[in-house]
Structure 1
Amino acid sequence: MPRPNVAARKSPTWPTPTPEQIEVVILGTYHMDNPGLDAANVDADDVLSDDRQRELTELVSNLEAIDPDFVAVERPASAADAVQDAYLQYRDGGFSYGEAHALNAMHPERDDARQRSRSEVVQIGFRLADRFGHDRVVPVDVPEDLGDSPDLDALEADGFEPTPKRDVPRLDTRALEESLTERLKTSSIPAYHRFLNEEAALHYNDGMYDQFLQMGTDENYAGPDALARWYRRNLRMVHNIWRAVDDDTERVLFIVGSGHVHILRHLLTEFPQFCPVSPLPYLPRED
């Protein structure tokens, strides 16, 4: 399994919440419905199989101790009505978690309505909210396409090639995809989530900085501007969590692609009214 050189960079930590702060437990996960939208995509097997359904039940049982006031998920905030309608279908018994259902559009890039029922939003987020008896699930994402801009198109048209100035360790995206897929095939879903939320795995998305920070020439800052959109997306998610809390909120569970966890931890640490919390205490190691 390729790992970035975490020891060579600043070692991140999870801060300790103070009594007045709202805890945000960030559960990094993988995209179970195979949307293929990330830089490194895991080829996920069918979570509707009997074995995977049993493992998901175990995962939810482990996470039940988090006991959040609400569950936030990585779906567009603009699709709140569709997400809520789908959640109530599951909570009220109209849909079964182990079957494929045609869900309303909860993601702008997902065309297969029945495939959406395999999403981690349904299989983990809805299950947990259902287990807690919540009336709602809160979608907080504002998606951005980092690779779509006139400035990036201009660089490509000019045949721009980055010129690395230092020979430093770099992740091989294809090798990473293969190793993550192989690990998922041989792991239970609880064990795979334990792995995804350990410190080394939280840096598997760092290659995007190496990719984008080198992209630009003269007054064209296409790469840094793409990263600015990445930060904007994550900032907006934190903002949307803030919109959803009220005076009685003490803890939130945020289920999000694991590539977001590192930056979200930083942003939530900087906002004094929130405190990011690791999910690892709720994900026991397997013997």
Structure 2
Amino acid sequence: MHLKKAQVVVLGSFHMSEHTGLSSERRQTEIEDLVFKLARFKPTKIAVEMVPEDSAYCNEKYKQYKLGVHRLEMNEIFQVGFRLGIKMAHEQLYPTDWMGASDMDYGEVESWAQENQPELLHEIYKDLVFPELSEDKSIVDYYKEINTSTFLNKLHKMYVNMARIGDLNHYVGMNWLSWWYKRNLIMFANLTRLIDTEEERILFIVGGSHASIVTKFLEESEICEVVSPLSYLS
């Protein structure tokens, strides 16, 4: 017997603040097209990559945007999440991130590996090519590209192999990776707390680097049905 479960879509995103030209009429129309396509999922809740401590800040901005007195900053939470929330008549968005302290940051691990294990670092990075948002590529097509299982699995493979950086009793990669896994596990746990009924349909807008690992946690938990965003971006 098939038991109905809540559905979750994890939408891997690029960080819009790192790109120029997205305020143009063309790009804004493309973002609206993305929102239109995501609305077909009919999410009951929209979760975003922001810490819960900033929920009041986030939802005050959302309230002001609904009233027409707030101009959207160039951030996927606002550009996509706020627009979709209004389209779905949601009262609020749900920050689910965690940003506690780490023993070592990513750059420190990479620098150590460049100096001490350059061949291993090359092996970890060699198959990973990040798609680019070129002038001839639409926003929707870019989201399709960064949400393919092929690309997301390569990202996940890179993070797993970072555990190999270091040596016996000197686990350099783990100094950062333990924080990374903790952060993604907390995102997963916070997402599950949003599931109130089997009718729930949650959209999680998160940086693409998190998409594969959070998806795997959700799938392995068997608490919900994980739906590919590609089902709605086509």
- Give the TM-score category using the shorter length: 0.7 to 0.9
Tell me the equivalent position of 2:116.
161
Deviations 1:182-220 (CA, angstroms, capped at 9, x unpaired): x4332110111111111222134233333x223223422
What is the percent sequence identity of the aligned residues?
A: 29
Task: Point out where structure 2 has 5 or more consecutive residues left out of the alignment.
Answer: none
Are the aligned partners of 1:90 and 1:96 in contact in 2 as well (CA < 8 Å)?
yes
| Residues 234-243 or 117-126, more deviating | 234-243
Are the aligned partners of 1:203 and 1:259 in contact in 2 as well (CA < 8 Å)?
no
How is 1:205-244 mapped onto 2 (pairs within 5 angstroms)? 205=155, 206-210=157-161, 212-244=162-194
Task: Point out where structure 1 has 5 or more consecutive residues left out of the alignment.
Answer: 1-17, 35-43, 98-116
How far apart in 2 are the matches of 1:171 and 1:87? 41
How is 1:226-265 mapped onto 2 (pairs within 5 angstroms)? 226-247=176-197, 249-265=199-215
Tell me the equivalent position of 1:132.
88
The residue matched to 1:93 in structure 2 has which SS?
coil
Deviations 1:98-150 (CA, angstroms, capped at 9, x unpaired): xxxxxxxxxxxxxxxxxxx100010111111111010010010002566726x
Are the aligned partners of 1:146 and 1:227 in contact in 2 as well (CA < 8 Å)?
no
**One-letter amino acid of the structure 2 residue matched with residue 208 of structure 1:** Y
Quote the offset at 1:53 in angstroms.
0.6
Quote the offset at 1:172 in angstroms.
6.8
How far apart in 2 are the matches of 1:248 and 1:198? 27
Quote the offset at 1:24 in angstroms.
0.7
The residue matched to 2:165 in structure 1 has which SS?
coil
The count of aligned residue pairs is 229
Give the direction of change, closer, same or farther, for the CA distance of 1:162–1:69 in structure 2 (3 Å limit).
Answer: same
Say which of 51, 55, 61 aligns to 1:86. 61
How is 1:109-148 mapped onto 2 (pairs within 5 angstroms)? 117-143=73-99, 148=104
Quote the offset at 1:64 in angstroms.
0.9
Deviations 1:41-67 (CA, angstroms, capped at 9, x unpaired): xxx223221111111111111111110
How far apart in 1 are the matches of 2:48 and 2:83? 12
How far apart in 1 are the matches of 2:230 and 2:125? 27
Quote the offset at 1:163 in angstroms.
6.6
TM-score normalised to the size of structure 1? Answer: 0.71
How far apart in 1 are the matches of 2:53 and 2:38? 27
Tell me the equivalent position of 1:268.
218
Are the aligned partners of 1:71 and 1:254 in contact in 2 as well (CA < 8 Å)?
yes
Tell me the equivalent position of 2:147.
197
How far apart in 1 are the matches of 2:147 and 2:16? 16
**One-letter amino acid of the structure 2 residue matched with residue 232 of structure 1:** K
Give the direction of change, closer, same or farther, for the CA distance of 1:51–1:224 in structure 2 (3 Å limit).
Answer: same
- Asked whether 1:24 is paired with 2:8, we answer yes
Give the direction of change, closer, same or farther, for the CA distance of 1:278–1:188 in structure 2 (3 Å limit).
Answer: same
How far apart in 1 are the matches of 2:102 and 2:14? 19
Are the aligned partners of 1:204 and 1:259 in contact in 2 as well (CA < 8 Å)?
no
Tell me the equivalent position of 2:36.
61
How far apart in 2 are the matches of 1:136 and 1:195? 29
**One-letter amino acid of the structure 1 residue matched with residue 95 of structure 2:** P
Are the aligned partners of 1:162 and 1:214 in contact in 2 as well (CA < 8 Å)?
no
Are the aligned partners of 1:46 and 1:118 in contact in 2 as well (CA < 8 Å)?
no
